[in-house]
A and B are shown apart, each in its own frame.
Chain A
């Protein structure tokens, strides 16, 4: 199809079909540096983002998300079209793989070791992740950590970093190198904008990283300074399991992978209210 954009992201090929010009523009901007498979390549995830049906093409226009021809979500307003693509793709990747244990975590690498930042939405991991990615750390993922039971390493899945509300301006001010897509207002998460992954991280799509440190972050508005501590391994194990999308699917293999991760990696907690001291602390805490 002429309106398709295919790109390689981590171990998979994604192809997006959409006639919506704003989605095509934003996807082309954010996925500028990704490998483009040829038309004969096997596609793992076929996604379509289409205008609403009937009158909803024009009156309070909507957008529909299709995966392999199925429509797993209710339509959203057309204004949310691009974030809808990213959210829907997250769901597809998180729930349709048995090769990796998928953790709700940001993962970055420096000196060959991965920093794992697990946490639910609102924990502040995307802001930390964006700032670290703009400070010389290699971004493996901001949302879906791919832990391989086969080798115990995190495998890259670098996709645009989803920033929400105040974090958008925080990151814009943080670095002049921050390449941000358009802001989308009034989503169920507030205002959302995506940060383009630095080209160096995209170029290292095939390079996994051995776990180095697990840090459970929590953003506490107004907190002066930092609160940090060590987490018992059993607690880390259970908290990681709570952030796993497909542990039930992987069963014991997934559990073994989590145990190995916790066995070999110290887990810490970090509460922060300001970005700069948190980044300095993470630099020091990295093995």
Chain B
């Protein structure tokens, strides 16, 4: 888990491509030229970070819970954290110190 003061931000040079009615989205990282396919929830996390600026994992998890019908028993906070870690390994998000 991220420490409570840790916020996440989208990497510079990202372009998120979403189309109405479609679940997946594509994310272009201009500095590397890499293009990634993201599933719906991961794309939503990234969109919030791009649109609203840096946020802690806990608030992103709350927004996901409000927007998605999670599987029963799913730990949304842990899932969000794991998703952010995956996006960080792709250099699409970074941690900001508190």
Closest chain B residue to A259 by CB distance?
A: B17
A234 interface residue, CB < 8 Å from B? yes
B36 interface residue, CB < 8 Å from A? yes
A232 interface residue, CB < 8 Å from B? yes
- Contacts A238-B26, A255-B28; A233 near B19 (Cβ below 8 A): yes
Write the nearest CB–CB distance from B31 to chain A, whole angstroms: 10
Q: Which residues of B contact A252 (CB under 8 A)?
A: 15, 28, 30
- Contacts A232-B19, A255-B15, A259-B17; A241 near B30 (Cβ below 8 A): no
Write the nearest CB–CB distance from A259 to chain B, whole angstroms: 6
| Docked-complex contact A247 and B24, CB < 8 angstroms | no
A255 to B14, CA, bound (A): 12
A39 to B15, CA, bound (A): 47
A247 to B24, CA, bound (A): 21
Q: Which of B1-39 contact A (CB under 8 A)?
A: 15, 17-19, 22-26, 28, 30, 33, 35-38
Q: Which of A225-259 contact B (CB under 8 A)?
A: 232-235, 237-238, 241, 247-248, 251-252, 255, 259
Interface size class of A (residues with CB under 8 A): 10 to 19
Write the nearest CB–CB distance from A61 to chain B, whole angstroms: 42
| Docked-complex contact A238 and B36, CB < 8 angstroms | yes
| Docked-complex contact A234 and B18, CB < 8 angstroms | yes
A87 to B76, CA, bound (A): 51
| Docked-complex contact B24 and A232, CB < 8 angstroms | yes
Write the nearest CB–CB distance from B29 to chain A, whole angstroms: 10
Write the nearest CB–CB distance from B94 to chain A, whole angstroms: 21
Q: Which residues of A contact B17 (CB under 8 A)?
A: 233-234, 237, 259
Q: Total A-B pairs in contact (CB under 8 Å)?
A: 40
Write the nearest CB–CB distance from B25 to chain A, whole angstroms: 5
Q: Which residues of B contact A241 (CB under 8 A)?
A: 35
Q: Which residues of A contact B38 (CB under 8 A)?
A: 234
Closest chain A residue to B43 by CB distance?
A: A234
Write the nearest CB–CB distance from A223 to chain B, whole angstroms: 26
Write the nearest CB–CB distance from A65 to chain B, whole angstroms: 29
A252 to B17, CA, bound (A): 13
| Docked-complex contact B19 and A251, CB < 8 angstroms | no
Closest chain A residue to B36 by CB distance?
A: A238
Q: Which residues of A contact B15 (CB under 8 A)?
A: 252, 255
A106 to B66, CA, bound (A): 45
- Contacts A238-B36, A255-B15, A259-B17; A233 near B22 (Cβ below 8 A): yes
A232 to B19, CA, bound (A): 9
Q: Which of A90-114 contact B (CB under 8 A)?
A: none
| Docked-complex contact B23 and A232, CB < 8 angstroms | yes
Identify the A interface with B (CB < 8 A): 232-235, 237-238, 241, 247-248, 251-252, 255, 259
8 nearest interchain CB pairs?
Answer: A234-B24, A234-B26, A248-B33, A238-B37, A241-B35, A233-B19, A232-B22, A237-B26
30 contacts between A and B (CB under 8 A): A232-B19, A232-B22, A232-B23, A233-B19, A233-B22, A234-B17, A234-B19, A234-B22, A234-B26, A234-B37, A234-B38, A235-B24, A237-B17, A237-B26, A237-B35, A238-B26, A238-B35, A238-B36, A241-B35, A247-B33, A247-B35, A248-B33, A251-B30, A251-B33, A252-B15, A252-B28, A252-B30, A255-B28, A255-B30, A255-B33
18 further interface pairs, Cβ-Cβ under 8 Å (given A233-B17, A259-B17):
A232-B19, A233-B22, A234-B18, A234-B22, A234-B24, A234-B25, A234-B26, A234-B38, A235-B37, A237-B26, A238-B37, A247-B35, A251-B33, A252-B15, A252-B28, A252-B30, A255-B28, A255-B30
